[in-house]
Amino acid sequence: MGFLDKAKAGFNNTVNYSNQKIDEAKFNSDIYEKKSQKKKYLEEAGEKIYVLYLNGDTVISEEIEKLFAKAKECDEAIERLEKEKAEMVENAKNERKSTTEDAKNN
């Protein structure tokens, strides 16, 4: 393997790693946003349930059910984003490994 092949493989791996970190940051931002939305929905639901409790009404209203449904949607989105992020990281690592192996074989 020549010096230029090694240098090219190293450069490609560096670019790939940088892109991976950028993509991870995007996923982390999306995950944080969904967690924040979920927290907001649950806090709002909690406040409404507390008001119902103070009024002696213990039945969960349709409005509360909608907030719980939105919180559940956030959970599902968080799970999907975390899975996509893990797949992206694994694919990037495999690509870097393949690039390094190809450079060694040439």
Mean pLDDT of the chain: 86
Amino acid in position 5:
D
Two tokens, residue 13? 């791996």
* Each residue's pLDDT tens digit, 51-61: 877 787 766 77
Report how far apart, in Å, the C-alpha atoms of 96 and of each of 9, 21, 26, 35, 82 are.
Answer: 8, 13, 20, 31, 21
Report how far apart, in Å, the C-alpha atoms of 98 and of each of 1, 92, 105, 106 are.
Answer: 15, 10, 10, 12
Instruction: Evaluate if pTM is beyond 0.85.
Output: no
pLDDT of residue 25: 95
Domain boundaries defined on the chain: 3-105
**Per-residue pLDDT averaged across 86-106, rounded?**
83
pLDDT of residue 106: 63
C-alpha span between 6 and 102 (Å, rounded): 10
